[in-house]
Chain A
Amino acid sequence: MPNPRQSKIRNFCIIAHIDHGKSTLADRLLEMTGTLTEREMQDQVLDTMELERERGITIKAQAVRLVYKYKDGEEYILNLIDTPGHVDFTYEVSKSLAACEGALLVVDASQGIQAQTLANLYLALEHDLEIIPVINKIDLPSARPDWAKAQIEEVIGLDAEDAPLISAKNGIGIEEVLDRIIERIPPPEGDEDAPLRALIFDSFYDNYRGVIAYVRIKEGSVRPGQRIMIMSNGKEFEVTEVGIFRPHLVPVDELRAGDVGYIAAGIKNVGDTRVGDTITSADRPASEPLPGYKKLQPMVYCGIYPADGAKYEDLKEALAKLQLNDASLVFEPETSAALGFGFRCGFLGLLHMEIIQERLEREYDLDLVTTAPSVVYRVYKKNGKMVEVSNPTEMPPPAEIDHTEEPVVRAQIITPTEYVGDIMELCQERRGEYRHMEYLESTRVMLTYELPLNEIIYDFFDALKSRTKGYASFDYELIGYKESDLVKLDILLNGQVVDALSVIVHRDKAYARGRAIVQKLKEVIPRHLFEIPIQAAIGSRVIARETIKALRKDVLAKCYGGDVTRKKKLLEKQKEGKKRMRQVGSVEVPQEAFMAVLKIN
């Protein structure tokens, strides 16, 4: 039973598909409850990272405490936890959900439920959250609120009859949402006098206070000066500050069961405060951690190299800084004959990878060369040993391999019925196995496929979008490993293997991919003084070949009426371009070549 203090607290999150208005609704809630002054208010307050704003997505979890005076005259504390919305971050999402008792399910009144919404909704139901459907964007001419309601009832089996009809953009219906949160979402429970158990649902590194762990206090209480322990690793720290989110950090005297807030304890490494872990009291530890903690393993790997070899140390420093706030980013030094010194980096998924790359380039002003992303393959050798291979160069020679396995995902695609054929075709091209199809309503279906992860890490989402005019939505979860006939495809320039261009592919795909790569390379590698054969090979067997003809002419005809400067500038430009190339044996390869290979289909 909640105590009187707890009965005035509601902890909730918002579940929505991209573009369905999660951030805008959050902004309105902040505004309506006066949490921020007008001056502090800017659109999408919770999405603070530049990238998040630009992409309209949430990468890191955020939290904010709202204070709302309900019609009974009482003030309620509403803790909104903003969750990441992307499949790469499913685990983080589930931990954020575990910090709440309820969720707003925001559905676009003209688009209805999408795959991503569904995935997160199922997660929320798993955590026994009270779901409040909210129909957004009712101001749009295309809005069909009744249809959206019916769909929620039909697809999810949730009573949506009295779902608030709102327009977050225009501030319509926001109060109704706030009232509904208080009426429907149960207050938190938990014994304030029990040993401390605080669930970490995010953390970031602050230069002055060290790691700031975002927590939901499940049981007990925590205050400055108290000694705490991280349950997964037994490390102990002394709390220097606890506080709440307004949404900036505001210190308080104490956090108690039911509260959402932060703990700072001079922790130096976010790796010590991983999402899902439990913080307890060192002097009076809880007997059990909160359920469900796991250390995330990267799903996708790629090589990241500085375009300018001299920037290696800068890249190292930048990665280390990003890792301060992102315990799921892993990296270790790697050397490539073609690209020099760089790092093998592991990510939770493709979006995570893109985000890290973009942040390195933008926030740290680095020019990068990245190699094709790879998943983690399992190679069973004839000697009975299994090796995990995430870098094609580590693939054992074919003679040593007994069989290979690759990770497989279950993908759910929600689409208007007219695109079912196109999607099936796409999934088939990507070696997908059809599982089932379910009609959500007469015009929309949910397709379930099992797909090799390596088939979706390139451009599956783009292909899906283009084949369905953007109407299909897509979500996936890793379900395990499956035997698969995998081969290492090497690319040879002038007879020499270019390690950075090697990829692991399914044997059936090797020929087409090899052809595509050699053709692409022929386009992007400039002519040299000699002829350059480009070959794609599996082991010693060449499966595709192109030739770059020798350079026959590179001379200016005119002397531009005494304009010597102009000619010199042209040469300087040429020299600049040459400098940015990578020397592979006797061949100079432009960096675009390494990137171009990523964009082949």
Chain B
Amino acid sequence: MRQLGVYIHFPFCLKKCHYCDFPSYQGMQRWMEPYLEALFREILEWKGEVCDYAVKSIYLGGGTPTLFSGKQIASVLEVCFKSFNVRGDAEITIEANPGTVDRGKLSALRGAGVNRLSIGLQAWQNKHLRFLGRIHSSSDFVQSVMYAKEAGFENINVDVMFGLPYQTVEDWLETLEKVCSLKIQHISMYSLKVESGTPLHIWYEQGKFPLPTQEEDRLMYYKGREYVSGFGFKQYEISNFAIPGKECVHNLIYWHNEEYIGCGSGAHSYFNNERFSNTSDVEEYIRAVMDGTQRINYREKIGEEDERFETIMLGLRLVEGISKQRFKARFGRDIEFYYGKTIKKLMKQGLLVDDEVSIRLTEKGMDVQNVVLLEFMQ
């Protein structure tokens, strides 16, 4: 049976973070009930399309999914279980913001089938949290992790950021230290990117804060990587580290360039050689689903050449790289047939390794993945 991932988007936040350019909105809580109705309907609509698939992951992302009650989330999952062939061992993740979860809600989520929690901490120091526009403190975070453990979560991810303005290497390592000491299973560490259209971008343009240089950014990355490895975390992707066996099934679907469907406003799907996404306008999404009109506002056929490139683009994020055998199975020919010259050139530059089993980035290559990918673009 073919495998599938399911992403469900919850576009509501108490307050939008200063760096966030995801399709999520504050002050829209009055649309939460109608949104759920639309979501139920969309999920049910998918039923016929995906009956031949086994769902190996459900990811409830946002926004802040935990703005909804445990009961509401449970009802969403129930609809999923009714509509999809969800495997018994499926990974079911929910993103949670410290400050929006308590003991009761976490127990309810666990009881509803959620088995993985992804908590956004971003930074330990409250000054950084304030700058980023986070609504919680670091103690809220600790409490959330404690509640989660009490509720029976044994697979917890924590998101942390480096490369923040005025963040020192000490700040950064302190953040990792606090996270690791909580004995969680997965860490996503990513550097701050100032996206256009965000308050941060405006402030940056106004010269209100500096960003670290590339050298400082990399120093934090290297130090962070080294630090968490001391706690048994193994890097398996450019930004992701896990206790072996706890790698994120859902994100691996993306990186292996496998199929997934996205439900909810702004959600993306890759299904039947097409990439498409729903409108990210919440009201429009609700109206379209309820009226049965077009909710998809982007659609792109993925030809074989696109698919090959995307397989490379995504696969090279993984430490294990692109399995040569899987590549051949997928495209009928060896990876060298398509990209032999490029691979050779990049190997000569010390950016790529061919270890017979797979093609993967070197450590240096990981720092400049875009440069590598540009070479693969035709």
Task: From the candidates A555, A568, A571, name the one contacting B366 in the complex (CB within 8 A).
Answer: A555
Chain A residues within 8 Å of B377, by CB: 571-572, 575
Task: From the candidates A557, A561, A572, name the one contacting B190 in the complex (CB within 8 A).
Answer: A557
> Is there contact, CB below 8 Å, between B268 and A563?
yes
Complex: A144 Cα to B271 Cα, angstroms: 78
Chain A residues within 8 Å of B22, by CB: 561
Complex: A20 Cα to B6 Cα, angstroms: 71
Task: From the candidates B262, B313, B368, name the one contacting A554 in the complex (CB within 8 A).
Answer: B368
> Is there contact, CB below 8 Å, between B310 and A558?
no
A564 at the interface (CB under 8 A from B): yes
Selected interface stretch from B71-79, B150-158, B213-221:
B213-221
Chain B residues within 8 Å of A557, by CB: 190-191, 193, 238-239
CB-CB contacts below 8 Å: A553-578 with B: 553-559, 561-565, 567-568, 571-572, 574-575, 578
Q: How close is B266's CB to chain A, nearest CB, in angstroms? A: 8
> Is there contact, CB below 8 Å, between A564 and B314?
yes
Chain A's interface size range is 20 to 34
Q: How close is B376's CB to chain A, nearest CB, in angstroms? A: 9
Chain A residues within 8 Å of B367, by CB: 552-555
Complex: A556 Cα to B255 Cα, angstroms: 14
Residue in chain B with minimal CB distance to A559: B254
B300 at the interface (CB under 8 A from A): yes
A386 at the interface (CB under 8 A from B): no
Q: How close is A449's CB to chain B, nearest CB, in angstroms? A: 40
Complex: A138 Cα to B190 Cα, angstroms: 68
Residue in chain A with minimal CB distance to B300: A565
A156 at the interface (CB under 8 A from B): no
B231 at the interface (CB under 8 A from A): no
Complex: A565 Cα to B301 Cα, angstroms: 11
Complex: A486 Cα to B174 Cα, angstroms: 60
CB-CB contacts below 8 Å: A529-572 with B: 529, 549, 551-559, 561-565, 567-568, 571-572
B56 at the interface (CB under 8 A from A): no
> Is there contact, CB below 8 Å, between A554 and B254?
no
Task: From the candidates A527, A555, A556, A563, name the one contacting B277 in the complex (CB within 8 A).
Answer: A563
Complex: A261 Cα to B191 Cα, angstroms: 73
Provided the pairs A561-B61, A565-B300, A571-B313 are in contact, do residues A555 and B370 lie with their beta carbons within 8 angstroms? yes
Q: How close is A24's CB to chain B, nearest CB, in angstroms? A: 42
Task: From the candidates A549, A567, A574, A575, name the one contacting B313 in the complex (CB within 8 A).
Answer: A567
B233 at the interface (CB under 8 A from A): no
B124 at the interface (CB under 8 A from A): no
Task: From the candidates A562, A563, A575, name the one contacting B374 in the complex (CB within 8 A).
Answer: A575
B338 at the interface (CB under 8 A from A): no
Complex: A571 Cα to B254 Cα, angstroms: 17
Complex: A578 Cα to B377 Cα, angstroms: 12
> Is there contact, CB below 8 Å, between A555 and B369?
yes
Chain A interface mostly: loop
B260 at the interface (CB under 8 A from A): yes
> Is there contact, CB below 8 Å, between B268 and A529?
no
Residue in chain A with minimal CB distance to B262: A562
CB-CB contacts below 8 Å: B358-378 with A: 366-371, 373-374, 377
Q: How close is A6's CB to chain B, nearest CB, in angstroms? A: 69
> Is there contact, CB below 8 Å, between B371 and A561?
no
Chain B interface mostly: mixed
> Is there contact, CB below 8 Å, between A568 and B368?
no
Number of residue pairs spanning A and B whose beta carbons lie under 8 angstroms apart: 93
Residue in chain A with minimal CB distance to B221: A553
Complex: A401 Cα to B217 Cα, angstroms: 52
Chain B residues within 8 Å of A567, by CB: 313
- Binary A-proximity of B309-321 (CB < 8 A = 1, otherwise 0): 1100110010000
Provided the pairs A529-B368, A553-B214, A571-B377 are in contact, do residues A558 and B313 lie with their beta carbons within 8 angstroms? no
Complex: A129 Cα to B359 Cα, angstroms: 84
Complex: A553 Cα to B22 Cα, angstroms: 23
- Binary A-proximity of B266-280 (CB < 8 A = 1, otherwise 0): 011110000101000
Complex: A572 Cα to B309 Cα, angstroms: 12
> Is there contact, CB below 8 Å, between B374 and A553?
no
> Is there contact, CB below 8 Å, between A559 and B374?
no
B35 at the interface (CB under 8 A from A): no
Q: How close is A230's CB to chain B, nearest CB, in angstroms? A: 57
> Is there contact, CB below 8 Å, between B214 and A552?
yes
Complex: A556 Cα to B277 Cα, angstroms: 21
Residue in chain A with minimal CB distance to B377: A575
> Is there contact, CB below 8 Å, between A552 and B239?
no
Chain B residues within 8 Å of A559, by CB: 251, 254-255, 314, 317
Chain A residues within 8 Å of B193, by CB: 556-558
Task: From the candidates A529, A553, A568, A572, name the one contacting B218 in the complex (CB within 8 A).
Answer: A553
B331 at the interface (CB under 8 A from A): no
> Is there contact, CB below 8 Å, between B217 and A565?
no
Provided the pairs A562-B7, A564-B275, A565-B300 are in contact, do residues A552 and B215 lie with their beta carbons within 8 angstroms? yes
Q: How close is A258's CB to chain B, nearest CB, in angstroms? A: 66
B229 at the interface (CB under 8 A from A): no
Residue in chain B with minimal CB distance to A566: B268
Chain B residues within 8 Å of A551, by CB: 214, 368, 371
Complex: A302 Cα to B219 Cα, angstroms: 46
Task: From the candidates B215, B251, B270, B374, name the one contacting A578 in the complex (CB within 8 A).
Answer: B374
B298 at the interface (CB under 8 A from A): yes
Task: From the candidates B9, B300, B368, B374, name the one contacting A571 in the complex (CB within 8 A).
Answer: B374
Residue in chain B with minimal CB distance to A562: B268
Complex: A577 Cα to B340 Cα, angstroms: 25
> Is there contact, CB below 8 Å, between B369 and A554?
yes
Q: How close is B308's CB to chain A, nearest CB, in angstroms? A: 13
Question: Which residue, B217, B262, B374, has most C-beta atoms of chain A within 10 A?
Answer: B374
> Is there contact, CB below 8 Å, between A558 and B370?
no
Chain B residues within 8 Å of A561, by CB: 7, 9, 22, 61, 267-268
Question: Which residue, B9, B191, B309, has most C-beta atoms of chain A within 10 A?
Answer: B191
CB-CB contacts below 8 Å: B274-315 with A: 275, 277, 298, 300, 309-310, 313-314
Complex: A551 Cα to B351 Cα, angstroms: 13
Q: How close is B279's CB to chain A, nearest CB, in angstroms? A: 14
Given A553-B218, A554-B369, A565-B277, 12 more A-B residue pairs with CB atoms under 8 Å apart are A529-B351, A556-B193, A559-B314, A561-B22, A561-B61, A562-B270, A563-B277, A564-B254, A564-B314, A565-B298, A568-B309, A574-B374
Closest 8 CB pairs of A and B: A557-B190, A552-B214, A555-B369, A554-B370, A553-B214, A562-B268, A554-B368, A552-B218
Residue pairs across A and B with Cβ atoms less than 8 A apart, 12 shown, are: A551-B214, A551-B368, A554-B369, A554-B370, A556-B370, A557-B238, A558-B193, A559-B255, A561-B7, A561-B22, A561-B268, A562-B7
